[in-house]
Structure 1
């Protein structure tokens, strides 16, 4: 037999930033089980073992090295399907990263085990209640001695070649947690139950005698046993005893039963106690599900136009351009229902966790248990549960943020990308630096699924492609339920300052409007796109401004914590009342953050209930939901916040929205600044005046005549688009060209500077000077002790091969980093930077 065909080999993806696949030999005992997409344990390097993914199987031995054997196969059925493997390969190629980086981003940590993983016992678990093998008991005993034991250390102590498989068995049985130390630890939701011991089953005489005996000698135990018989229904069906009854429910709902009585029945061997792991996702009673909402004539027309675009005009992608409050979600619900009834799967993407909370509650009432939710506030174990739920068919419909594109769908027919213009669909760190909207389009292509993009303020690129006929286009220009669009006023900050008429940060117009709304017992939302108390502190005597030790940026002052924080690297230090340069006490805060607005409101309106919604107040898993619930219940009169407030929230008593400072949006140095400012201001304006009440929006600016503000006021999106497209065509920006951003990073400024110039020079040799911008020094030119230089590559959409350009860029970067002086250089590649 030919040496190349006698053994089975697997090319595997190592979840590390490595540019190639690695070939391993498949031992005979695993040859029948292993498939493409399976997780396997392999040794990598000298002492490292790691979970890898099989990309393909073949009979060709590697030419330049001896293939190591696969140590274990972790899956009976593949964790990744063929469509996922195809998508991930495309992502690695398109976004110029490695397959390992895609896998690292795609798989929840609970599905990866590596030398950095930690293992602990599930809190509260009763190990003695479980039958374990001798090997499993030894592992559990070692883990019990520590709060959490690193895999590497456990491996040294156990020295068992089957360690991965044993850990997987213990994890599947709910006895151990496997987690990353940096991640929040997850405690599975567990339920303690009781059931009748086997000796009392199937013998009614024995059970009757037991009841008679207990009635005389222990009445409370007798009553508890009767309660169990009734709750379990075992007299109608003995098999119901197997699943038992929740222990707590026997005494928590009936004051006549004490926990001690239950414990006594367990001690006597009448009850046996056991524990089960239950889903974190509460079951929804199928009988209580609601039908899809009734559509208005305008919504019904839009729905028919979407169906026509998809199936008559043969468009795979369509844009639903609906004004804020037009009821796009109701249309989505009807489309989802149709897709699910056809037996296929649906993915509904939202840009941020902030949006999912309210929408999930609505959708759960209609779609019940067939709907899963997937986002980063879930622990790794919860995300793994959703992953497995999609694989098993438990969830045929998933609502999620950008990472939901990685889930193991095998039969998608519809993908909805809501608020498709949102910048948070773009992943910035780490690689892959993907845009979920664009990945969703490729996912749709692989599944032959339809993709619906929805927005009140579409991205210019999306709108342009729709107008060019590449996508279907559906306009929905009226609000649901005849609700009126809010009245937008622009308040002149500059004039109010000159005339000394400001009330803290509020112009007279905004102050008076807030006062009136509070008197009418209505609610107010105030938007300021900067958290903290003030952007920086300033010494009036010597000009000192506290800066981050690791980044070239001023530290933001957080007064409630009495701390200075860097919003780039997270460094923080105490805020002292004196200047650290000259000792002066004349240190004042400059600028306005959400924290300062909150304090000013409490001074101006002491009777009002004020709350703040930003990254600092919503860090906890339930914090965001609690704020929403309080605002919805009208326990809060004024809600101050950052961009979180702009995301599709719907509160019927909000009649006023105020924008504290629009200028920081308008004058941000980015070619998308005007587009983003329009989108953000329009979105936050849409929070005002739903249902029966007409809303009011007051935007404070020092430049009230700015054309973008006038576009927001007059709802002239097309006017903004025309103006912006002319500018972008003139200066070669998307949608007329593609962009690839390169960021050169080094711990020494002179090395970063020299390397960036050398890279530009090399790129220009093949691509020419017109296609390369830079190197430029960014506004913040040092982050986490790395000095930064930016390069921008512009590539025409026609007449040049994008793949060849990317290969040339990768080649130039590789040649640069091989030079002795640039060995520690980092070059970050960002395709389609947002």
Structure 2
């Protein structure tokens, strides 16, 4: 095959006529056809990872999606370079799921593959050049020009160089001609340096050699021999203390982790001597990155009400594939989940338990690990590449049959999925916003179950309106559990009017008198407090009291959030940050003050109001480390923290016996957010965080701080009147055409030039208006945040009729329009983003 470097690939036998359609991790709307070399024909199949050349320089990892005998008509198929495994890494059910996701969410299957595979299963490639060891300039028949000589000298000095480094040495933008010439002259070798990111965890172990392990006299003679070598003697005694070879001979075969010796401070050189002299043997084994723990098969004792609910769920599954489980906070949903999971696993099927937040995952893992042991895997973004590959391979091999994880766990290689449980199914964090695929994990999980002919259980104390609507229209099964488990009582709600307290001069550091009194009462009783504010940082922004100047991000249309820790202002969109100025840049005044409330500021206020209390904060800033969540929750659970301040991380599923007071700092901010779901989300968040109070026999107190206590939603939250709240909101949704009555697709246009972005958005909007389906088109309008990372943003909204094929037709035509727009001479640098179900 002719390539940039000539005929680098061997010609294949003409009888070799097998081809493979390969999924590549690139945003291109089709698979690419490659030739299967005759030598690989017997080893290859659907789902295998292979290395292929893509373009002139790139080498990529691909997944085989189809094997056939039809060569491509438009181009000559390149051969597959290599196979990475001796078994399929991806199964056909996964490929079917990827294809559905690409189709439904208007993206490309390569983008789905890129999101689905852990980074550790993808290869990174970089073209490199080195001197040919057999090349001799004195005897070569090919003369070199000046640039070729300079490049060869640089390679002699450095050993190997990348394309980019070669270009820099010669000061040229393109060196392809020079490289090709040097390849022909056999002066250099071009190679792809491939590095597989995943590496198994290897442990070095030692054991007593057979000569001494099986013969006490030989061992005694050895001790006599090394009597004057105390360091060697100390190592042997340590080994025999850890591994009693004569009492339990089988333990010597397993040996001892080498670290036990080295970390005990014993001589490393003496250890090496013992190994060299054949007294000890050193060997390596591959071990799991996760603690091996046997499940204890703990029997879950259900209450009569829980047992009845479990029976109803099973009954519903006989008629429906998806069931909505509406259980109030503290009703004991977890025990029902565990019982169901056990039954499905006993039947030989796999189970996936989806959770919306890593914080919640951390909290449940310990409990579930005790029940299911090492047959359970945990999968989320805080895990390293190697850990995620290990879970992937565990599912692939059948070692792991039950996975608990965040939204990315729907991509694992299940082959016999029996049930998917989506806990807190209403949570917005199930939605992936960037990059593509921009999927909703709850909806995708339902399709995953359908592909596997499995069952889906959606659990929530405050179901999403879409799920509740599907239950009321009999698309889903439905059952409710409206009593707390055991003796636990529902909390008592209090509305604290901030304006009244402010007029009476009772508002201190943004805390009403009622909330301060309840916190003090809890602290006096050695109980715990949760304070909820869904905004991190010290304050939303700082402002000049004299001229009103507010610092803004240089790259985005947003004000900078003030973080007192580090004395800096940060953009939460692009990460830009700068130090807080000493004086106003606009007028020179030094009257710069923080405006609004962030978790950092609340933490500081609490330390002033309650100096004796142990206070901690849980938000993105304090949980960036791998075990940040876990450490905070363990501290709180053990009683080492009295007051925990947090964002929405603290609203989900946390169960602590001693929490008796929950404070919601600014309920109005949740309620008046510019989003058609604002009311629904306010109801959910307030109800969820309130559910953390009074989880046992102690009645908790929930204090909602608001400037508008007369709002109807507060009364509905307090009375737990979800149904009437739903009916009221759905009337508005139907009247103004919002989900679940229509399907929404948002199309975003981005470009560094404002006018080009606007022109492209208007042109595309007009073209979409001509698509012949029943729809409402809105926009294009400047985005709520009009500029992010120096890109100007415009948005169009399509509201599509849910009946018939309006959605499929619109998506199909939209993708064709986008292909046209991408090659339009005026819009080549414009980025278009399609987001299905964006809110």
TM-score by length of 2: 0.88
* Structure 1 counterpart of 2:813: 808
CA contact (8 A) 1:115 1:150 kept: no
In structure 2, C-alpha distance between the alignment counterparts of 1:159 and 1:789, rounded to whole Å: 49
Aligned residue number for residue 776 of structure 1: 781
Alpha carbons of 1:796 and 1:116: their partners in 2 closer, same or farther (altered >3 Å)? farther
Judged with a 3 Å threshold, the aligned counterparts in structure 2 of structure 1 residues 781 and 4 are, in CA distance, closer, same or farther, namely farther
Mapped to 2, the partners of 1:642 and 1:572 lie a distance apart of 21
Matching of residue 299 in structure 1 with residue 309 in structure 2: no
Separation in structure 2 between the aligned mates of residue 62 and residue 152 of structure 1, nearest angstrom: 33
491, 495, 514: which is aligned to 1:490?
495
Call closer, same or farther: CA 1:722–1:117 in 2, change over 3 Å: farther
Q: Deviations over 1:2-36 (max 9, x none)?
A: x9985111111110111111111111111111111
Q: Distance in 1 between matches of 2:559 and 2:59?
A: 43
CA, structure 1 residues 112+651, in 2 after alignment: closer, same or farther (shift >3 Å)? same
Q: Does the 8 A contact of 1:229 with 1:235 survive in 2?
A: no
Shift in alpha-carbon separation, 1:766–1:260, aligned structure 2, 3 A: closer
Q: Does 1:67 align with 2:72?
A: no
Between the aligned partners of 1:246 and 1:228, the Cα distance in structure 2 is: 10
Question: For the Cα contact (< 8 Å) 1:115–1:152, is it kept in 2?
Answer: no
User: For 1:713 and 1:6, how far apart are their aligned partners in 2?
Assistant: 72
Structure 1 unaligned residues grouped into runs of 5+: 119-144, 175-187
Cα distance change, pair 206–462 in 1 and its aligned pair in 2 (3 A): same
Change (3 A) 1:490 1:527: same
Partner of 2:279: 270
The match for 2:150 is: none
Among 619, 635, 639, the alignment partner of 1:630 is 635
Change in Cα spacing, 1:661 to 1:209, as seen in structure 2 (3 Å) is: same
Select the residue among 525, 528, 534 that pairs with 1:523. Answer: 528
> Which of 16, 25, 29 in structure 1 is aligned with 2:26?
16
**Cα distance in 2 between the residues matched to 1:578 and 1:626:** 39
Q: 1:577 Cα deviation (Å)?
A: 2.1
Q: 1:152 to 1:488 in 2, by over 3 A?
A: farther
The aligned counterpart of 1:184 is none
1:374-428 CA distances to partner (integer Å, 9 max, x unpaired)? 0000011110010001001111000000000000000110110000000000000
Paired residues for 1:422-441 under 5 Å: 422-441=427-446
2:735 pairs with 1:730: yes
Cα deviation for residue 743 of structure 1 reads: 0.8
Superposition map of 1:283-682 within 5 A: 283-286=292-295, 289-311=296-318, 314-682=319-687
CA deviations 1:260-318 (Å, max 9, x no partner) are 865653454412334444322101145xx15132111111111000111112xx21000
> How do residues 12-51 of structure 1 correspond to structure 2 at under 5 angstroms?
12-51=22-61
Conservation of the 8 A alpha-carbon contact between 2:664 and 2:703: yes
Query: Is 1:753 matched with 2:764?
Result: no
Are the counterparts in 1 of residues 616 and 645 from structure 2 also a CA contact under 8 Å?
yes
Q: Secondary structure at the match of 2:784?
A: coil
Q: CA deviation at 1:327?
A: 0.6
The answer for the alignment partner of 1:766 in structure 2 is 771
Distance 1:251 1:50, change over 3 A: closer
Correspondence for 1:689: 694
SS at match of 1:37: coil
2:65 is matched with: 55
Deviates more, 1:812-821 or 1:42-51: 812-821
- Pick closer, same or farther for the CA change 1:484–1:221 going to 2, 3 Å: same
User: How far does residue 533 in structure 1 lie from its aligned partner after superposition?
Assistant: 0.7
> Is the contact made by 1:5 and 1:60 (CA closer than 8 Å) also made in structure 2?
no
User: What corresponds to 1:209 in structure 2?
Assistant: 221
Equivalent residue number for residue 236 of structure 2: 225
Using a 3 Å threshold, how does the CA distance of structure 1 residues 644 and 171 change in structure 2: closer, same or farther? closer
Take 1:115 and 1:251, find their aligned partners in 2: how far apart are those partners? 37
Instruction: State the partner residue of 2:119.
Output: 109
Q: Aligned to 2:124, what secondary structure does the other structure show?
A: coil
The 1-side partners of 2:32 and 2:357 are apart by 36
Q: SS at 2:35's partner residue?
A: strand
Q: Name the SS for the 1:409 alignment partner.
A: coil
The answer to whether the 8 A contact 2:583-2:591 is kept is yes
8 A contact 1:4–1:59 mirrored in 2: no
SS of alignment partner, residue 315 of structure 2:
helix
Q: 1:263 to 1:473 in 2, by over 3 A?
A: same
Distance 1:773 1:323, change over 3 A: same
Q: 1 CA distance for matches of 2:352 and 2:203? A: 31
* Alignment CA distance shift 1:162-1:150 (3 Å): closer
Offset of residue 794 of structure 1: 0.9
Cα RMSD of the aligned pairs, angstroms, is: 2.7
| Aligned mates of 2:238, 2:500 — CA distance in 1 | 75
CA change 1:159–1:554 in 2 (3 A) is same
Structure 2 unaligned residues grouped into runs of 5+: 1-12, 129-156, 167-178
Q: Counterpart of 1:91 in 2: which secondary structure? A: helix
Give the conservation status (yes or no) of the 8 Å contact 2:58–2:127: no
Contact 2:204 2:285 in 1 (8 A): yes
* 1:348/1:418 contact within 8 Å kept: yes
Q: Deviations over 1:625-671 (max 9, x none)?
A: 11111111111111111011101111111100000001111001111
Distance 1:158 1:276, change over 3 A: farther
Q: CA deviation at 1:218?
A: 4.7
Deviations 1:228-284 (A, max 9, x none): 34644544776654431123446878x9x8778656534544123344443221011
Q: Distance in 1 between the 2:292 and 2:762 partners?
A: 59
Provide the rounded CA distance (Å) in 2 between the counterparts of 1:25 and 1:152. Answer: 30
> CA, structure 1 residues 150+401, in 2 after alignment: closer, same or farther (shift >3 Å)?
farther
Q: Deviations over 1:545-603 (max 9, x none)?
A: 10000000000000111010001111111112211222210111111100110111111
Structure 2 CA distance, aligned partners of 1:425 and 1:546? 33
- The 2-side partners of 1:717 and 1:519 are apart by 35
Over 3 Å counting, the alpha-carbon distance change for 1:149 and 1:718 in structure 2 is farther
The answer as to whether partners of 2:294 and 2:372 remain within 8 angstroms in 1 is no
Q: Which of residues 270, 280, 284 in structure 1 aligns to 2:289?
A: 280
CA distance in 2, matches of 1:380, 1:793: 38
How far apart, in 1, do the equivalents of 2:424 and 2:127 lie?
36
Task: Normalising by structure 1, report the TM-score.
Answer: 0.89
Cα distance in 1 for partners of 2:48, 2:530 equals: 49
Work out whether residues 51 and 112 of structure 1, in 8 Å CA contact, stay in contact via their aligned partners in 2. Answer: yes
**CA distance in structure 2 between the partners assigned to 1:378 and 1:391 by the alignment:** 18
| C-alpha deviation, 1:799, in angstroms | 3.4
Offset, 1:780: 0.9
Alpha-carbon distance in structure 1 between the residues aligned to 2:394 and 2:198: 17
- Offset of 1:607 from its aligned partner? 0.8
Deviation readout 1:741-798 (Å, 9 max, x if unpaired):
1111111112222222222221112347951111122221111111111111111111
The whole-number CA distance in structure 2 between the counterparts of 1:152 and 1:13 is: 28
Aligned length: 780
> Which deviates more from structure 2 when the two are superposed, residues 568-577 or residues 358-367?
568-577
- Distance in 1 (CA, whole Å) between partners of 2:244 and 2:68 is 56
What's the counterpart of residue 79 of structure 1?
Answer: 89
Secondary structure of the structure 2 residue equivalent to 1:779 = strand
Cα displacement (A) at 1:816: 2.8
Deviates more, 1:690-699 or 1:577-586: 577-586
